[in-house]
């Protein structure tokens, strides 16, 4: 529409010049040039070069309701934002304005979403800029960009008729790392100094109240000056969601998707220990893609379960190992699975010999719940499960392969944790002061004990392990229930060890 009006106007001007006997050619050229710049976005580029970075003011639509879980983070953030909402009342009491909030936590946990929701909650203009945008090779550019960002926040808020503006700086550690650590590179220090200056300059009686929200997953890297009172003095931790949080996030991300009646989101939430919000969003999306590939109108539970494997381990690979290698992988994974079921019945979610990401095959466990403390019984059980792949290779194939290396590394770490917690024959020790030979000896003792137990279990179930491995070879994937049907077909097969460890069940093991 704008374009039509402009063309009409230009035509009128040209006609007028012509009637007045003036040469319309230079004006014609000018109009042509401006039109070209407009069409190719050239004007925008020119404006951006001057402005420095791409952050722009926007009306935020994300609300706290659109963020699943994160109850503590949301509560802390809302409490902090009440100051901004109180506005003049807070100023009348002489409360200094809240200038900065630092959101710290692992990637994909919703820090950007929280910052956007904070802007909506305080009816603020929202500007976002990643920390990396301030870092340029040229001295002074970063500092100039920081200045321009604050300036534009004020302008954008004024234009939108708002009192508040939220500036969101993602990956603040890039720009706010400890000063002096980049030797010979004063640019980082200047940029950080400028940010501190701008934040110090925020006052109650400013026309626009600016709140800077920064996000990082490397809080330890930040310059202490940033965390000083009056700057980023509110620290809100954004953790990986717990089971309830995962369920809420899954509900949010499946709200627009047709789910088959067999889909149990609580079960999927239980199986996705360690997943971030971003992982869960991707999981819901991947499940829908799998359903689409199969021409289904609804997403079924199995699509979600396959998507869990894909999100945690990567895309299926075309690479297919040799038959004898596949047989080894099958024996190895069945070893893990059989021992896992003996330690904690119902714990196996799936096992497969399909290559995904770095893994040739894997066995996935279902955690019973999110636990934060592990008992010795639990840790020993996990060690037995970790070493069961190796035990199965040795018992059934007569030797072990390099495939056990990953399991061994995890097992050694678990053993070290046990030694540090005083759970070894050494008793209570200080890990850093423990001579290396003693540490290695204690690790070996623990691993040998648990491996012996794994070997005993595999020997006892030799025939069964072979049968399940053959089934796995032909079907490539067995889910937990299919595996348990096999195990139960062997009467009383695992009865003796069923009672162990049920109370201490916890966590997930990626093998």
- Which positions lie near ligand ATP, rule CB under 6 A? 67-70, 107-113, 170, 215, 217, 249, 252, 277-278, 281
Instruction: State the first-to-last Cα distance of the chain, in angstroms, to the nearest integer.
Output: 60
Nearer to ligand ATP, 42 or 107 (CB): 107
Residue nearest to ligand ATP (CB): 277
Nearer to ligand ATP, 284 or 313 (CB): 284
SS (H, E, C) 68-115: CCCHHHHHHHHHHHHHHHHCHHHHHCCCCCCCEEEEECCCCCCHHHHH
CB 146, min distance to ligand ATP, A: 20
* Pick from 204, 198, 191, 196: nearest CA to 227: 196
Nearer to ligand ATP, 10 or 217 (CB): 217
CB 294, min distance to ligand ATP, A: 24
Asked whether 444 and 426 are in contact (CB, 8 A), the reply is: no
CB 424, min distance to ligand ATP, A: 38
- β-pair type (164-170, 477-479): unpaired
CA distance 459 to 451: 12
CB 281, min distance to ligand ATP, A: 4
Nearer to ligand ATP, 70 or 497 (CB): 70
CB 70, min distance to ligand ATP, A: 5
Nearer to ligand ATP, 174 or 442 (CB): 174
CB 68, min distance to ligand ATP, A: 4
Q: Is 460 designated active site? A: no
Q: Among all chains, which residue has been given the structure tokens 């070290």?
A: 416
Nearer to ligand ATP, 242 or 471 (CB): 242
CA distance 235 to 77: 9
> What per-residue string of b and e applies to 158-192 under the rule 16 or more CB within 10 Å gives b?
eeeebbbbbbbbbbbbbbbbbbeeeeeeebbbbbb
3-state secondary structure of 156: helix
CA distance 65 to 442: 50
Asked whether 393 and 336 are in contact (CB, 8 A), the reply is: no
Strands of 3-152 (E only): list them.
58-59, 100-104, 124-130
Asked whether 245 and 70 are in contact (CB, 8 A), the reply is: yes
The tokens describing 443, both together, are 């690790």
Q: 187, 333, 341, 368: which is the annotated catalytic residue?
A: 333
Q: Which amino acids are annotated catalytic?
A: 333
């Amino acid at each position: 529409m704008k374009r039509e009006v402009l063309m009409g106007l230009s035509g009128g001007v040209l006609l007028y010049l012509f009637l007045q006997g003036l040469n319309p050619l230079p004006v014609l050229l000018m109009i042509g040039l401006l039109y070209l710049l407009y069409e190719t976005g050239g004007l925008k580029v020119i404006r951006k070069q001057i402005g420095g970075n791409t952050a722009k003011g926007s009306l935020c639509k994300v609300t706290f309701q659109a963020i699943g879980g994160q109850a503590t983070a949301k509560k802390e953030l809302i409490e902090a934002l009440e100051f901004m909402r109180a506005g003049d009342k807070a100023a009348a009491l002489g409360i200094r304005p809240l200038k900065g909030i630092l959101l710290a936590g692992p990637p994909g946990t919703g820090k950007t979403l929280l910052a956007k929701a904070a802007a909506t909650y305080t009816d603020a203009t929202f500007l976002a800029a990643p920390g990396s945008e301030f870092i340029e090779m040229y001295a002074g550019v970063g500092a100039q960009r920081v200045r321009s960002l604050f300036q534009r926040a004020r302008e954008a808020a004024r234009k939108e008729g708002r009192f508040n503006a939220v500036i969101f700086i993602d990956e603040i550690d890039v720009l706010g790392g400890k000063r002096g650590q980049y030797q010979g590179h004063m640019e980082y220090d200047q940029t950080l100094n400028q940010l501190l200056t701008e934040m110090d300059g925020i006052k109650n009686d400013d026309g626009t109240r600016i709140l800077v929200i920064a996000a990082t997953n490397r809080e330890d890297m930040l310059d202490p000056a940033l965390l000083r009172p009056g700057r980023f003095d509110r620290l809100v931790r954004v953790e990986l969601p717990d089971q309830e949080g995962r369920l809420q996030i899954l509900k949010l991300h499946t709200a627009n998707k047709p789910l088959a009646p067999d889909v149990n989101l609580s079960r999927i939430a239980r199986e996705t220990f360690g997943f971030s919000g971003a992982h869960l969003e991707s999981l819901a999306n991947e499940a829908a893609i799998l359903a689409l590939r199969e021409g289904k109108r609804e997403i079924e539970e199995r699509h979600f379960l396959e998507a869990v494997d894909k999100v945690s381990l990567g895309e299926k690979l075309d690479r297919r190992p040799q038959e004898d290698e596949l047989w080894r992988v099958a024996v190895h994974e069945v070893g893990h699975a059989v021992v896992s079921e003996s330690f904690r019945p119902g714990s196996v979610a799936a096992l497969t010999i399909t290559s995904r990401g770095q893994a040739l095959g894997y066995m996935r466990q279902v955690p019973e719940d999110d636990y934060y403390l592990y008992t010795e019984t639990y840790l020993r059980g996990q060690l037995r499960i970790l070493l069961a792949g190796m035990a199965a290779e040795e018992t059934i194939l007569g030797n072990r392969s390099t495939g056990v290396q990953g399991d061994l590394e995890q097992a050694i770490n678990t053993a070290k944790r046990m030694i540090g917690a005083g759970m070894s024959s050494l008793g209570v020790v200080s890990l850093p002061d423990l001579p290396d030979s003693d540490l290695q000896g204690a690790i070996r003792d623990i691993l040998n004990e648990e491996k012996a137990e794994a070997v005993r279990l595999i020997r006892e179930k030799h025939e069964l392990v072979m049968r399940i491995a053959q089934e796995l070879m032909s079907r490539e994937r067995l889910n937990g229930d299919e595996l348990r049907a096999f195990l139960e077909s062997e009467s009383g097969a695992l009865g003796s060890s069923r009672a162990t460890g049920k109370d201490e069940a916890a966590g997930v093991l990626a093998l």
